[in-house]
Amino acid sequence: MQDNTHSEPSALNLTPSASIKACLFDLDGVLVDTAVYHYKAWKRLANTMGFDFTEEQNEQLKGVSRVESLNKILAWGSVEKTDAEKEELATLKNSWYVDMITKMTPAEVLPGTVDFLTEIHKAGYKLALGSASKNSGIILEKTNLAHFFDEIVDGNMVTKSKPDPEVFLKGAELLGFKPDECVVFEDAVAGVEAAKRGGMKAIGIGEKSVLTQADVVVSGLDKLTVKDLENL
């Protein structure tokens, strides 16, 4: 069936690709762009300690846990803190971040996301979220994306940060599929590495020159259709 209307998903198959049966998505930079909120919160925290934090440095924190991000920022600022102080700082940063993301709306979902999720869901693929964020539930609720996902694995459920594959392996396990039956959608180098280390295919969202380990790289989900999954 061919639908020529611009807003509707493209032609669908009734069953998933023989090789790929499940799709695991990172959140930040793939479905929505919350990097700006992380950046503002980390910058505010750095400024309270007397140093600045750049957008270039923020890029290095993609896919990295809150604790590891804080450790990097403290190192950049040549600041030493006790474990107790680090916990207080991480909590403070998160409170600022949560305050910002609770004001998010569906308008902040990245282009093509809803159409692509709708298309692959109707085609029979199982979907899971695999994010380091501990606030993924809030973001999915505010952006009206939660209903697409069969399982949600986030920073509250795993102990190891990407590039460790734990978050994606957990997602595959909950969906009931083997790693080689899964494809991961990631915008971070650490996330793509995690997918490959976990034995999964990886579709990079970003630049080919950066996401060199990915099987396919596109600028966004608006460039993908279900046919691309069948060709992996």
Catalytic residue status for 164: no
Looking at 28, 115, 154, 187, which residue is catalytic? 28
Residue with tokens 């090789």: 19
- What pLDDT is stored for residue 15 in this prediction? 54
User: What separation, in Å, do the N-terminal and C-terminal C-alpha atoms of the chain show?
Assistant: 23
Six-digit token pair at 67? Answer: 């604790």
Q: What CA–CA distance (Å, rounded) separates 228 from 232?
A: 7
Looking at 26, 115, 154, 187, which residue is catalytic? 26
The DSSP symbol for 110 reads P
pTM, full prediction: 0.81
pLDDT, tens only, 3-20? 433 333 333 444 555 699
- What pLDDT is stored for residue 133 in this prediction? 86
Q: What CA–CA distance (Å, rounded) separates 213 from 202?
A: 8
Sign (positive or negative) of CA dihedral 138, 141, 145, 146: positive
Catalytic residue status for 28: yes
Q: How far is CA 115 from CA 15, 25, 107, 159, 226, in A?
A: 18, 15, 14, 32, 11
Instruction: Give me the half-sphere count of Cα atoms (radius 13 Å) on the Cβ side of residue 172.
Output: 20
Residue 101 identity (one-letter amino acid): I
pLDDT tens string, the chain, 232 residues long: the values are 334 333 333 334 445 556 999 999 999 999 998 888 999 999 999 999 999 999 899 888 877 888 999 999 999 999 999 999 999 999 999 999 999 999 999 999 999 999 999 999 999 999 999 998 889 999 999 999 999 999 999 989 999 989 999 999 999 999 999 999 999 999 999 999 999 999 999 999 999 999 999 999 999 999 999 999 988 8
